[in-house]
């Protein structure tokens, strides 16, 4: 019988002193973040945020929270916010920052720099 051992990565990211094991690849993070950014920028550029009802914003907040937890592991949003509520705009900034870090890491891996 042939036996081999393949290397396995455990990509991590440290945010505000908290270390998270990435649950998605850098490419998946970048693709999904781009998709969400496009969706939200189209929606929220149509009119001022004050004109949206909670019923229109809450699903986006839930989607952002779910994506953060999907990227960083269950409960990541609560850990980062110390259990406090987080506005959609802030969650979008968090997603953007993680996606930027993922893109930089991916670029380094691809170019070898």
Range of the domain at 66: 12-111
pLDDT tens per residue, range 11-40: 999 999 999 999 999 999 999 999 999 999
Count of helix runs (H) and strand runs (E) in the chain:
4, 2
pLDDT tens per residue, range 47-105: 887 899 999 999 999 999 999 999 999 999 999 999 999 999 999 999 999 999 999 98
21 near 12, Cβ under 8 Å? Answer: yes
| Predicted pLDDT of residue 25 | 93
Total domain count for the chain?
1
Predicted structure pTM score: 0.87
């Amino acid at each position: 019988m042939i036996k081999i051992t393949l290397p396995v990565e455990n990509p991590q990211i440290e945010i505000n002193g908290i270390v998270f094991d990435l649950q998605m690849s850098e490419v998946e993070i970048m693709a999904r973040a781009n998709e969400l950014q496009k969706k939200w920028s189209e929606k929220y550029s149509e009119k001022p945020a004050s004109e949206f009802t909670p019923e229109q914003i809450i699903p986006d907040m839930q989607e952002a929270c779910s994506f953060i937890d999907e990227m960083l592991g269950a409960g990541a949003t609560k850990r980062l916010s110390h259990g406090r509520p987080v506005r959609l705009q802030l969650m979008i900034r968090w997603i953007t920052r993680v996606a930027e870090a993922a893109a930089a890491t991916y670029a380094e891996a691809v170019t070898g720099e």
